[in-house]
Each structure stands twice: as structure tokens, then as C-alpha cells.
Structure 1
Amino acid sequence: MKLLRQLGIILGIALLGELISKTLSLPIPGNVLGMVILLILLFLKIVKIEMIESLSNFLLGYLAFFFIPAAVGLIANLDLLKEQGIAILTICVISTIIAIVVTGLTIQFIKRWLKI
């Protein structure tokens, strides 16, 4: 019964995110909005970690299985990857470098701003 209640909380918040996204025609996917709502509810202590901890740990334990559809999608588009592989790899490397640089600059800015 405990896991069912935890599943209800998580699915309810995910559904709320989907409803808000569709109702307001937001460019943010409903599942992302649901995670933001869950984060806010956790910060505000409306939802306590203990209320979803068991199911969350279970889902994290089997996280690799959630990547199977993505891997199947990659295999299904193997021809496209062969044709555009270098371009995709280049974009991944450049975007990773940009993300690292922007993160570092942001941390430096915040440290200077907070005088840490």
C-alpha cells in the first residue's frame, strides 16, 4: 500500500505537469514541468522525501532499463548515424565544451557576487 501511495504522488505530479503544459500551451514538456513541480513541493516541504523515497530508490535502481528505447532508436537509425556521425560527434563535443565553459564562468560570477 505504501508503494501504491508513493506511485500515486509521483504520477499525480507528472499528470499535473502534463495538464499545465497542454492547457497553457507551454513550450516546456509536461514531464519536465512535473519534475519542476516536484522539486518545488520538496523545497516547500509539502511533499516530504519520506513520502516518495522507497519508490524513487526502486526506480533509480532500474534506471538503465529506461534507456533501452533510446538505444533501440539509435540502432533503428544506424544508417543516419553512419552518414552524419562525424557531424553529430562534432556537435556533441562543441556543445559539451560550451556547457563546461559557461558553467565555469557562471560559478566564478556567483562566487565573486557572493564574495566567497
Structure 2
Amino acid sequence: MSMLRGFLVLVLFFILGESMRVLFALPVSGGVLGMVVITFTLMVKGNVSDELASASQGLISVLVLLIMPGVVGVFFTADQFSGQWLAVATALLVGTFLSVLTTLLLMQLVTARGDGDGE
């Protein structure tokens, strides 16, 4: 039952993000807006509930299935990218490098704060 409550919270933030996208005519996915809102909400709250944590863990285990529609979409529109292979490859490499670098810097920041707490 707790996983269901956590999933309901995730769905509500998704709906909130979609509502914001439609209301303000933003060119961003409603899911992304919902993730931004839930991130700020959790930052203000200061912790994650057990229900939300268990629902998130359940979704992480099937993350490949959540990514699959985008991969299928690229497969069916691959002919549009035929003359743009250099731009696509550069974007993939730079994007991957920046995401790994950002993760590294955030982990260093978080572990430095954890060491300074005296735990």
C-alpha cells in the first residue's frame, strides 16, 4: 500500500508538470517540469518519505522500459538524421561528458558535506 501512495505522489507531480506546461505554453515536457517541482519540494521538506522512496525504487528497476519509447521514436525517424551524424555524435559525447562531470562534482559536494557533519 505504501508503494501505491508513493506512486500516486509521483503521478500527481507529473500531472502538475503537464498542467504547468499547458497553462504557460512551455516547450518542456510535463514530466521534466514535474521532476523539477518535486525536486524543489523535497529540498524544502528536507527528506523523502518511505512511500516515495519505495515507489521510486520500484521504477528504477524498470528504467529501461521507461526509456524505450524514445529509443523506438529515434529508430523510426533515423532517416531525418542521416545527414546530421556529426552533430548527433557530438551532442551525445558532449552530453555524456557533461552529465558524468556534473555527477562527479555533486558527489564530491555531497560527500564533503557528509564528512563535515561529524558523523
Q: TM-score, normalised by structure 1?
A: 0.66
Count of residue pairs brought into register by the alignment: 103
Structure 2 contact 3–51 (Cα < 8 Å) conserved: no
Higher relative contact order (CA 8 A, sep 6+): 2
Q: For residue 46 of structure 1, report the CA deviation from its aligned partner.
A: 7.5
* 1-structure distance, mates of 2:10, 2:96: 34
Moved more, 45-54 or 2-11: 45-54
Percent identity, aligned pairs only, is 28
Residues 61-100 of structure 1: per-residue CA shift (max 9 Å, x gap): 110111222222232234344443344224444x449948
**8 Å CA contact 1:14, 1:31 repeated in 2:** yes
- Counting only pairs closer than 5 Å after superposition, residues 35-114 of structure 1 correspond to structure 2 as 35-45=35-45, 48-93=48-93, 95-96=94-95, 99=98
Matched-pair contact (CA < 8 Å) for 1:14–1:34: yes
Matched residue SS, 1:28:
coil
AA matched with 1:58: G
Q: Which residue of structure 1 aligns with residue 113 of structure 2?
A: none
Partners of 2:42 and 2:49 lie apart in 1 by 7
**Pairwise CA RMSD:** 3.2
Partner of 1:26: helix, strand, or coil? coil
Per the normalisation by structure 2, the TM-score is 0.65
Q: Which structure would you say has the larger Rg?
A: 1
**Which runs of 5 or more structure 2 residues have no equivalent in the other structure?**
103-119
What is the match of residue 13 of structure 2? 13
C-alpha contact (below 8 Å) 1:21/1:29 kept by paired residues: yes
